[in-house]
């Protein structure tokens, strides 16, 4: 992808960072510096956001490693400020395999969250979740919250989230693939409308998510239409927040 630079190669897969990511990190540093008025506060903020994106990278590797089990290579993994993308060379043709590839990402968040939860139980150090905000609260507890959020968000059954791919895969076990995509995309857009509606009254952030989901669903539907016209299926997977 243009405007990206390589940050490393793990398990034979190149990981790139989009340059807009630098903007995000600068912004986080600035917000924390303003709040805490110190370099330590700014660095703590940057460290937090980098740890969050480490979880995103691990999530993407979940997809990539499961795809590898089915003999599918991953071209690269790209980190964007809105999340990560594992670009698979192709998707499995078997819907059940596609479902496992889609589930493997969120499964990584389950493992991280579970490990942290066990740690908190053993050390009896879990503080009430209500005391947490994005910028304040115990570091590991915020990472736990982020992983739960990533899990729930990614399992929303709408494209471009993993849940949308799971839904399509389940539909594709009974329907032709293009048709399954159409149905999944329509369900996704229904969810987007619902989010938009709730967002208008409660949280403007949901409006943003609604737009993101709407565009993702429309895109997936048009790719499926195009591909069923020429034969063959899309080659990228996994948008994550
Ligand atoms: Zn994912």
pLDDT digits (tens, 9 = 90+) for 113-172: 999 999 988 887 777 666 666 666 788 888 998 899 999 989 989 888 899 999 999 999
Output the pLDDT for position 218. Answer: 80
Please identify every residue whose CB atom is under 5 Å from ligand 1, which is an ion. Answer: 105, 162, 238, 240
Distances (CA, A) of 220 to 91, 203, 216, 226, 240: 13, 26, 6, 10, 15
Catalytic residue at 60?
Answer: yes
Name the 3-class secondary structure at 146. Answer: helix
Q: Where are the domains of the chain?
A: 1-155, 156-231
Of 95, 93, 75, which is closest to residue 85 (Cα–Cα)?
75
Q: Could you tell me which residues are beta bridge partners of residue 77?
A: 15, 86
Spell out the alpha helix ranges (H) of the chain: 20-36, 39-69, 95-123, 139-154, 162-172, 177-201, 204-230
Two structure tokens written together for 211: 């737009």
Rg value, the chain, Cα? 19
Output the pLDDT for position 49. Answer: 87
Q: What is the dihedral of CA 68, 73, 76, 82, to 10 degrees?
A: -60
Apex 33 CA angle, 28 and 36, nearest 5: 120
CB burial of 202-233 (b: ≥16 within 10 Å; e: otherwise) equals eeeebeebbebbbebbeebbebbeebbeeeeb
Residue of 60, 98, 141, 220 with catalytic role: 60
Q: Give me the percent of the chain exceeding a pLDDT of 90.
A: 36
Which region among 8-12, 50-54, 130-134, 155-159 has the lowest average model confidence (pLDDT)? 130-134
Name the range with the highest mean pLDDT among 100-114, 156-170, 210-224: 100-114
Distance 44 CA to ligand 1 centre (A): 26
Q: What is the pTM of this model?
A: 0.83
Distances (CA, A) of 175 to 105, 170, 180: 25, 9, 6
């Amino acid at each position: 992808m243009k405007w990206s630079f390589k940050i490393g190669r793990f398990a034979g897969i190149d990981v790139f960072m989009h340059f807009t990511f630098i903007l995000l990190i600068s912004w986080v540093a600035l917000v924390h510096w303003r709040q805490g008025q110190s370099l330590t506060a700014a660095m703590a903020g940057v460290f937090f956001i980098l740890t969050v994106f480490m979880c995103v990278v691990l999530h993407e590797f979940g997809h990539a490693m499961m795809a590898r089990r089915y003999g599918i290579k991953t071209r690269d993994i790209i980190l964007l400020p809105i999340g990560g993308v594992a670009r698979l060379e192709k998707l499995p043709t078997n819907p059940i395999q596609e479902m496992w590839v889609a589930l493997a990402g969120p499964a990584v968040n389950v493992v991280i969250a579970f490990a942290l939860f066990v740690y908190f139980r053993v050390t009896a150090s879990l503080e009430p979740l209500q005391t947490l905000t994005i910028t304040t609260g115990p570091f590991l507890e915020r990472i736990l919250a982020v992983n739960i959020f990533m899990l729930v968000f990614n399992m929303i059954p709408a494209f471009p989230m993993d849940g949308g791919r799971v839904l399509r895969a389940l539909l594709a076990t009974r329907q032709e693939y293009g048709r399954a995509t159409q149905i999944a995309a329509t369900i996704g857009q229904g969810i987007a409308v619902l989010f938009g509606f709730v967002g208008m009254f409660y949280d403007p952030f949901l409006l943003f998510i609604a737009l993101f989901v709407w565009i993702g669903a429309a895109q997936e539907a048009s790719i499926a239409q195009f591909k069923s016209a020429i034969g063959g299926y899309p080659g990228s997977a996994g948008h994550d927040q």
